[in-house]
Amino acid sequence: MSELFASPINASTRYCAVYGHPIKHSASPAMQNAGLAALGLNWRYLALEVRPEELRPALLGAKAMQFVGLNLTVPHKLLAMDMVDVLDESAKHWGAVNTVRFEGRDKSGTWLPLHQFTETPPDKIRSQGFNTDADAITRSLREDLGVELRGARVLVLGAGGAGRVAALKLAAENVGELFLINRTPSKAGSVAAEVRRRHLDVKVHVEYPRGEVDLTINATSLGLAVEDPLPLDAKQFSLRQTQAVYDMIYRPSETPLLRAAKVAGCRIANGLGMLLYQGAKAQEIWSGQPAPVEIMRAALKKNVYGL
């Protein structure tokens, strides 16, 4: 599919962006720009390398330049909780921000998406943080792996922003048992405590499972770089113990973890579906229109697989 832009960049073009570190692997610009063009919006979506120590000024910069909105990826999703002006219920509930919408206050005191101010400028601008990852995770797990989550035993690798949301969302879907593993064990411990506090029925362990699990999810950044080790300790857990493996990483499209899981006979899926659904929802939050999901999916597949 060729990338058709609604119009050339001009003085009215509005901007969105994803901030991350690293960001070069991101397929979001291909996906989002295809969607924005299909909606006929004179907007562009950029990918910007932002170091965590510069997240705050980078957020202020986008606000000052009246961007429409932002996506945030590794390692910004938790940090941004304290940096946006207001938090939507979704960000409060899941404890991480992956989508920001810039909003302006009109004469009557109502906050509206900033792109709606075409003639009169707003008298004040604010940033609002949302989370669109949680629903995207479980939708992709169901569609791409056919996992029955209710009652399932699930191993989650990683307890950063993505791992935390995954664990909490799985608990909300009534999985039976969760096993949480993280390089920094205290972070897995605090996610476990949060899950226990909210979901009394879910058994949570901060250790590798003994016996079989239905699903293993990689929510660490291990696998992004070719030299990365596997995100799990093969001495403590064999991939033969899991039916299915989901890697939130989508580039490379087959991480060493997914390759090893395939050899072990597991069903596997990468994070493309999660990226698609979180991105489509983010676009809806910015534009107020339904996102052209199939166009975005095709652009994503072309970008990642060259299809």
Active site residues: 77
What phi, psi does 190 have (nearest 5°)? -75, -30
Site membership for ligand ATR, residue 75 (CB under 6 A)? yes
CA distance linking residue 216 with residue 141, whole number of Å: 11
148 vs 18, 71, 142, 155, CA distance in Å?
A: 32, 29, 7, 14
Tell whether residue 158 is a contact of ligand ATR (CB under 6 A): yes
The region of 23-31, 152-160, 272-280, 291-299 touching ligand ATR under the rule CB under 6 A is: 152-160
| Count of residues of this chain found to bind ligand ATR when the rule CB under 6 A is applied | 18
Nearest distance from C-beta of residue 34 to ligand ATR, angstroms: 24
Residue 97: Cβ within 10 Å count: 32
Query: Beta 99-105 vs 124-130: how paired, if at all?
Result: antiparallel
- CB 206 within 8 Å of CB 189: yes
Least distance in Å: CB of 229 to ligand ATR? 7
Cα dihedral value 209, 215, 220, 225, nearest 10: 120
Our finding on whether 161 is near ligand ATR (CB under 6 A) is yes
- Closer of 39 and 81 to ligand ATR (Cβ): 81
- In single-letter form, the type of residue at position 232 comes to L
Residue 9 C-beta: closest distance to ligand ATR, Å:
30
Cα torsion through 288, 294, 296, 301, rounded to 10? 160
Nearer to ligand ATR, 22 or 57 (CB): 22
Instruction: Tell me the closest approach of the beta carbon of residue 188 to ligand ATR, in angstroms.
Output: 8
Q: Could you say whether residue 162 binds ligand ATR (CB under 6 A)?
A: yes
The Cα–Cα gap between 75 and 64 comes to: 23
| Residue 163 binds ligand ATR (CB under 6 A) | yes
Window 179-238: residues binding ligand ATR (CB under 6 A): 182-184, 187, 219-222
Pick the piece of the chain touching ligand ATR (CB under 6 A) from 10-18, 60-68, 137-145, 161-169: 161-169
Q: Which two tokens stand for residue 212?
A: 């079989």
Q: Which residues bind ligand ATR (CB under 6 A)?
A: 74-75, 77-78, 158-163, 182-184, 187, 219-222
